[in-house]
A and B are shown apart, each in its own frame.
Chain A
């Protein structure tokens, strides 16, 4: 089975712009979660989707949003980018039966200038 894929892998944006990141889960996985990883804050939970419904949301401002499509692919959007949004954004998928184990993609490294 192919693993979790994320596009793009690297991105450079300027303050005030918006960005959309994409994640394709492992085939058959219906749950997708997003995380932000920074050296100072570690791995912070953004949101979790299951069957196109947001199941859970972390403590991030409303500028961070996401969605999941009927094929389980997911996107996250960050509007009005700030310098502090520079981070590695990781997507993880899990199967319906074993929802605790997360399989991570390679991440999208976002740099905001």
Chain B
């Protein structure tokens, strides 16, 4: 079946540094969603990307969907302690239509 891998698995950064997580799917995605899960919380929807090569920004967060629609990235500029959590990408598996989550990247921000 389809796999959606994210790298890195963990990332520790100093407050103010930038952070990027990469999401790679083994098959083409029709669209992709990003979620954030705070420690002890549940995933919260951040954004959806639909078009090939699409770039969207939310304040310090920049999301990109690859040209082949098989990969995506989330970049955070000047991290803050409030950015701590696990970031997941997700999308529909082609064929079975199951909604698959990426493996997640856990971000820790050191003050």
A interface residues, Cβ below 8 angstroms from B:
33, 35, 42-43, 45, 48, 55-56, 58-59, 90, 92, 100-107
Contacts and interface: CB of A to CB of B under 8 A. Distances in A.
Interface in B1-54: 1, 31, 33, 35, 41-45, 48
A90 B88 CA distance: 15
B99 A48 contact: yes
Given A100-B48, A104-B42, A58 B98 contact: yes
B75 interface: no
Given A42-B104, A43-B104, A104 B99 contact: no
Closest 8 CB pairs of A and B: A43-B101, A104-B42, A104-B43, A56-B98, A101-B45, A107-B42, A42-B103, A45-B98
Given A100-B92, A102-B33, A43 B43 contact: yes
A68 to B, nearest CB: 16
A16 B25 CA distance: 37
Contacts, number: 49
Interface in B55-111: 88, 90-92, 96-101, 103-104
Interface of B: 1, 31, 33, 35, 41-45, 48, 88, 90-92, 96-101, 103-104
Interface of B is mostly: strand
Contact of A33 (B35, B42, B96, B99): B99
Contact of B42 (A56, A59, A105): A105
Contacts of A43: 43, 88, 101, 104
Contacts of B90: 102
B92 to A, nearest CB: 7
Contacts of B41: 106
A103 B45 CA distance: 7
21 contacts: A35-B101, A42-B101, A43-B43, A43-B104, A45-B99, A45-B101, A48-B99, A56-B98, A56-B99, A58-B98, A59-B1, A100-B48, A100-B99, A101-B33, A101-B45, A102-B99, A103-B45, A104-B42, A104-B43, A106-B41, A106-B42
